[in-house]
Amino acid sequence: MMRTQFALIQREFWEHRSIYVTPIVIGLVISLMSITGQVSISASEHVDTAILGMSNVSEEARATTVSVMMLVVFILFALAAAVLTIFYSLDSLYAERKDKSILFWRSVPVTDFETVLSKLLVALIVIPLVTFGAVMVTHLLVGVIMSIWLAIRGGDAWHLIWEAAPLAGNWTAMLAMLLGSALWLSPFVGWFLLVSGYSKRSPILLAFLPIIVLPLLERSFLGTQLLGNAIFVRSAQNPIFKDADTLSYMFKDDDLHSLAESGISLVSILDIGRFLGSPGLWLGLIVCGLFTTAAIYVRRYRDES
């Protein structure tokens, strides 16, 4: 079972190379941009003064600065992962039908359950993990590039970046955000898998049309907004993040000092307990499970001749 599952997930990497190519490309682009960015900053005459100034601010302030830079990199990756997950899950059960290789895949002793499960695991666990790996490597690369630049300028990179950076805490928070978002949005992934397994052509259209049209119909005919809330509020609000009020004071003032003194780290904006205790999470996972079960049945009963 484990060996089969491993082989199936490996197959997804072979078939959907974008799972790892996308984060690699983004990481390379960010690293390159950090080089060109530093070269262009170097043109400023105040740059050495700024480095000197940085050395004198409190450790908390430096930690916050580094954390914000890490967060910016992370957000780019997280957005890309979201887009990647949508396209991956919509393609995962469609591509094998389009190229007719499904007959081959079904000629080996692997159940439809195992196959569809591998695709669900890729969307919910593997893509977040690969993205997380790429985020870490990119953080380290950008850190090294900045350190080299600082060293050339005579700054103390160890003191300015590495000593201050709360790497472990920030990375833990980022991993939690990636996995937490994937699990929170899992009903969408389940829906996409079902559409991918069912659709004769253009799964994208079939996937998004009901998401947009059904809430509109509900609103005009029933006057309620249950579906609309379920879809759109869910996309926007994940209980893994503390309330917007708590978050806003992190960014209420762009003065670095007040930001630093509030003592905010990335871990402190998360509330894992509330996330795991949220009925919305478990209800969502059940909905995801129902859609996935339907996708398994469609693959099993559909005759592809």
Binding site for another protein (CB under 8 A): 3-4, 6-8, 10-11, 14-15, 96, 99-111, 301, 303, 305
Q: Where is 292: in which H helix or E strand?
A: helix 279-301
> Between 221 and 301, whose beta carbon lies closer to another protein?
301
User: What does the block give as tokens for 73?
Assistant: 């990199």
Q: How far is the CB of 204 from another protein (least distance, A)?
A: 20
Q: Are 106 and 148 in contact (CB under 8 A)?
A: no
Q: How far is the CB of 92 from another protein (least distance, A)?
A: 13
Q: How far is CA 61 from the centre of its chain?
A: 27
Q: How far is the CB of 113 from another protein (least distance, A)?
A: 9
Rounded to a whole number, what is the largest CA-CA distance in the chain? Answer: 72
> Between 17 and 252, whose beta carbon lies closer to another protein?
17
Q: How far is the CB of 98 from another protein (least distance, A)?
A: 11
> Which whole-number Å values give the CA distances from 278 to 88, 124, 169, 285, 295, in the listed order?
27, 18, 23, 11, 26
> Between 6 and 282, whose beta carbon lies closer to another protein?
6
> Between 101 and 202, whose beta carbon lies closer to another protein?
101
Q: How far is the CB of 11 from another protein (least distance, A)?
A: 6
Q: Are 63 and 170 in contact (CB under 8 A)?
A: no
> Which whole-number Å values give the CA distances from 175 to 7, 67, 99, in the listed order?
25, 14, 35
H-assigned helices in 156-255: 157, 167-184, 186-198, 203-217, 226-228, 234-236, 244-251
The terminus-to-terminus CA distance of the chain in angstroms comes to 29
Q: Give 270's strand partners.
A: 241
> Between 160 and 296, whose beta carbon lies closer to another protein?
296
Q: How far is the CB of 24 from another protein (least distance, A)?
A: 18
User: What does the block give as tokens for 84?
Assistant: 């990647």
> Between 14 and 221, whose beta carbon lies closer to another protein?
14
